[in-house]
């Protein structure tokens, strides 16, 4: 089987190690992974800011790049939701691109969604182990692509990983893309509350499967001098497979 990786802007610029872990896990599962070199932003920042013409131009390029791909995997629920649910809105009056958006969007999956709901991997032979305590932030956009408890259920299969419940796990961290810029005082309050909840768990690791949330939360943790590591599930899974 072959898949193409949609890295996303934030992953490419701030968390390339997450992209490397996604590739590493998939290859260990016997999957051939390609990374289209011409990929760029999916257009979400422009779309969220109301620049619809500019967003359509970027989105049309994204469709051009990934149109030949049969299966596309991304580490970001946010960008996955943009393509699946908001491209049809963006191209509502553009029939050719609307059809392409629906077709290609149906081939795009968030990483955990792909391994758990599409491949339905039996992890038993891999004897997964990762010694740490962890808690999990449920990113808003995962709800937009129909994901519920797939990430914690996957983490529960890893020996040595103590998963601790997070108060207000499904509450927004305050990033929201351009929301954090437009409404900084509200964003600060939300992320402060989120980090308070994270710190109360006493966990070593916070699992976050979206680059925007990871940037926002890890920034506050860093400023507080916290030793809590922010990790993507792909990073934990790759380390657990390597034991």
CA distances from 38 to 34, 61, 109 (A): 12, 9, 19
pLDDT of residue 184: 85
How far, CA to CA in Å, does 206 sit from each of 32, 138, 166, 215? 29, 11, 10, 12
Low-confidence ranges of the chain (pLDDT < 50): none
Model pLDDT, residue 101: 98
Spatial separation of the C-alpha atoms in residues 33 and 5, rounded to whole Å:
7
Q: Report which DSSP code applies to 242.
A: H
155 neighbors 136 (Cβ within 8 angstroms): yes
Domains, in order of start, for the chain: 2-117 (3.40.50), 126-242 (3.40.50.1860)
State the pLDDT at residue 178: 79
CB 113, CB 150: distance < 8 Å = yes
Measure the CA–CA gap between 45 and 211, rounded to whole angstroms: 14
85, with CB counted inside 10 A (0-12, 13-18, 19+), is middle
Would you state the pLDDT for residue 144?
85
C-beta of residue 218 within 8 angstroms of C-beta of residue 241: no
Indicate the pTM of the whole model: 0.95
Pick the closest to residue 207 from 148, 132, 107 (CA basis). 132
pLDDT value, residue 243:
59
Q: Which helix (H) or strand (E) holds 162?
A: strand 159-163
């Amino acid at each position: 089987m072959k898949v193409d990786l949609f890295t996303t802007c934030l992953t490419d610029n701030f968390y390339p190690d997450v992209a490397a872990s996604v590739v590493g896990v998939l290859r260990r599962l016997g999957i051939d992974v390609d990374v289209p070199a011409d990929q760029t932003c999916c257009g979400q920042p422009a779309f969220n800011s109301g620049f619809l013409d500019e967003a359509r131009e970027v989105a049309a390029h994204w469709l051009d790049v990934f149109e030949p791909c049969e299966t596309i995997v991304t580490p970001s629920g946010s960008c996955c939701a943009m393509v699946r649910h908001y491209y049809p809105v963006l191209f509502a009056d553009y029939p050719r691109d609307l059809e392409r958006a629906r077709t290609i969007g149906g081939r795009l999956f968030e990483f955990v969604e792909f391994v758990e709901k599409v491949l339905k991997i039996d992890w038993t032979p891999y004897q997964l182990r990762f010694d740490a305590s962890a808690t999990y932030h449920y990113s808003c956009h995962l709800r937009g692509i129909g994901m519920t408890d797939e990430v914690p259920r996957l983490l529960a299969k890893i020996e040595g990983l103590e998963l601790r419940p997070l108060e207000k796990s499904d509450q927004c961290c305050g990033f929201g893309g351009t929301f954090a810029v437009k409404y900084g005082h509200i964003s600060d309050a939300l992320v402060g509350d989120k980090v308070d909840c994270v710190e109360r768990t006493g966990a070593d690791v916070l699992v976050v499967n979206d680059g925007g949330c990871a940037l926002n939360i890890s920034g506050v943790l860093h400023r507080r001098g916290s030793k809590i590591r922010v990790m993507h599930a792909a990073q934990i899974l790759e380390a657990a497979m390597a034991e």
